Amino acid sequence: MHVNNHLNFATAATFNVYKKSGALLLSDTTDSSQWTMIGNAIDVTLLTRNVPSPLPEDAFTAIRMDAGTTASLYVTRTDGGFIGYHNGDAVGNVAAEDNDIEILEGYGKKFPFRGGFGNLSFPRV
């Protein structure tokens, strides 16, 4: 899994990763009870803007899925900084895929599930 910097220089950052079974619903963006933390206080050196920065593979619980199932992820920066993103076309559209997996467009949200729907940005890749 990779994250992107929004700055034009490298910087330190800290992330949490959450997972939930099933598709991402709008209500999931304000209700943390549906999510399970699978990675806590992951320290990363964000590379420059638009250069993917990997989260260490051993920093979060492996994400295992059976064929035909859906899971949602919430990757959030917890140190007050911002994450780089790309605007999408529509929540639920395919952002990337191969023979094994589809990754869909979703939402942008401030940590931790803060505020109502007014603090929601979408679609995000």
HEC secondary structure over the chain = CEECCCCCCCEEEEEEEEEEECCCCHHHHCCHHHCEEEEEEEEEEECCCCCCEECCHHHCCCCCCCCCCCEEEEEEECCCCCCCCCECCCCCCEEEECCCCEEECEEEECCCCCCCHHHEEEEEC
Residue 113, pLDDT > 90, answer no
Q: In the chain, what are the domain boundaries?
A: 15-39+61-124
The predicted-structure confidence for 23-34, as pLDDT tens digits, reads as follows 988 887 877 888
The predicted-structure confidence for 59-96, as pLDDT tens digits, reads as follows 999 999 999 999 999 999 999 999 999 999 999 999 99
pLDDT at 118: 60
